Amino acid sequence: MDRVISRIASTSTWSPHHAIFYQDGRVIRLGLTELDAMARRAARWLRGLGVSPGDRIGICARNRLEWVLLDLAAIKLRVVTAGFEHGAFQLDAEHLRRYGLKLIFTDGATDADGFVDIRRVTAELPESPLEQETVIYADDDATTLKFTSGSTGRPKGLAATVGSIDSSIDAVQELFHHGADDRLLVFLPLSLLQQRYWIYSAFHYGHDVVVTGHEFAVYACKQERPTVVMGVPSFFDALKAQIEAKAAAQAPPDADGAERLRALRRCAADMLGGRIRYLWTGSAPAKHEMLRFFEDCGLAIYEGYGMNETCIVTKNAPSAHRPGSVGKALSRKQILIDEDGVLIVRSQHPVNRRYLFCDGEEAQRIFRDNGDVVTGDLAHIDEDGYLYIRGRADDIISLGNGKNVFARPIEDLAKRCRAIEECVLFGAGRPHLVAVISPAAGEADNDAIGRHIAWVNAQVSGHERIGAFIVADDRFSTLNGLLTSQGKPRRARIKQAYERRILQAYGDT
């Protein structure tokens, strides 16, 4: 296994490759050699702020050069970074205390004690770098804290071990062989540790990396011509719609299927820069129609599976790809199914064996004594080792008549309609299901939604039918807190937001 993190910590990098940042209305292009030198200067600057080995610093900012500099500098200093998703946290002095943070770096000016404007990182870089020291991390050392939601609503912490990071990056490299001709696009929040993997990978394996925000991802594709784009399914759903709209405007009304397909392929290549080697998706269920669309456009798209507690577990890849599955287990990972059909993940290098900042009982539900992770996902493994995710164990809704309904397949049927972006079912202890629907972009087409729900009901058993549906006032999004940063619906929050209308659907006042 390659020692990726220790090499970044200890070695001055020479590389012909580049990191490219889209931020503040401009583009910053840096050689990786220059980026590494800036990170060593940033490490010296952090020392000047009183940050020492073993300290923790928090970062809550949009994707930008300064985020990356702080992360790399922290690795060189043996300082732990805690990445907070921008817009999801309202940070205050209590967070400094609760998470044991020396400082928190944020977007925008601030004079609050312990908070630092992240733009100061580049504005105040010293001329001379931190003197290079040999820093060797053990597998069980941690470089970063990542956060996952809990039943109480207060995020639980996970101290991600160096072994888990090195192992994941190495396993992905075994599958995809990123190299000198590659340019990887990163646009999901850098607070998600996996997004920083591709920066570490650029240094270790030698390739370009482009860092931007979600809002500039498509624009950056056209300008920078990446070979690899990694996004959640909702991003590719939106991209599919854009490609279809553009192709429809180009193809004549009487175009046959072959001509329409050529138009789709031209538009897809144009929007993504024309150099795509493959597309990567995961973190949430992907629609079969979306995956098939990109394959038809001549773009390989590979779905995988992972979670905060396990990192990347399985992945489809050029050497082993089975549509409908989320791939085979990565090296140094083992997948098992327990007697209840729940997926268990065993790792040679676990992310960790416990949570931080929560009671032990919650950790015991997820982490077994031997380090295995109880994912809570219902799954099966076929005879060739491919993993299929059926949904969450807690997605089973027990109706008032004693019948159990597995929500995800019905929700997936509902999302086949172009007018429906997301569908979330409720009905525990009730006589029938109620769906809360996030409409597609534009004005909600209630008639089309109603017709499609009737079609869904014709496909399922009587107790699985949707007795009523509610069209959300606003589309689910990360901004209104109804989607996670990976594009997954937040069921509890959606129920809370539409509780009055759900009660009305059951005739309650």
Listed by start position, the domains of the chain span: 4-211, 228-274+276-392, 399-505
CATH of 399-505, picked from 3.90.1480.20, 3.30.300.30, 3.40.50.720, 3.30.2350.10, is 3.30.300.30
Token pair in block for residue 500: 């009055």
Matching fold, domains 228-274+276-392 and 399-505: no
Q: Which residue type is seen at 43?
A: A
268/101 Cα distance (integer angstroms): 44
User: pLDDT 10s digit of each residue in the chain, 509 long?
Assistant: 679 999 999 877 788 999 999 999 999 999 999 999 999 999 999 999 999 999 999 999 999 999 999 999 999 999 999 999 888 777 888 889 989 999 999 998 777 899 999 999 999 999 988 887 788 999 999 999 998 754 345 678 899 999 999 999 999 999 999 999 999 999 999 999 999 999 999 999 999 999 999 999 999 999 999 999 999 998 999 999 999 999 988 877 777 888 889 999 999 999 999 999 999 999 888 889 999 999 999 999 999 999 999 999 999 999 999 999 999 999 999 999 999 899 999 999 999 999 888 777 777 788 998 889 999 999 999 999 999 998 888 788 988 888 888 898 899 899 999 899 999 999 998 999 999 999 988 788 999 999 999 999 999 988 999 999 999 999 999 888 898 877 888 888 999 999 999 999 998 76
Contact by Cβ (8 Å): 5, 200: yes
**Burial environment of residue 107 by CB neighbours within 10 A (0 to 12, 13 to 18, 19 or more):** middle
Which CATH number is associated with domain 228-274+276-392? Answer: 3.40.50.12780
271/227 Cα distance (integer angstroms): 13
343/314 Cα distance (integer angstroms): 12
> Which residue is it, tokens 């053990």?
138
Token pair in block for residue 243: 């490609």
CATH class of this structure's domain 4-211: alpha beta
Rg (CA), the chain: 23
Contact by Cβ (8 Å): 307, 326: no
130/136 Cα distance (integer angstroms): 17
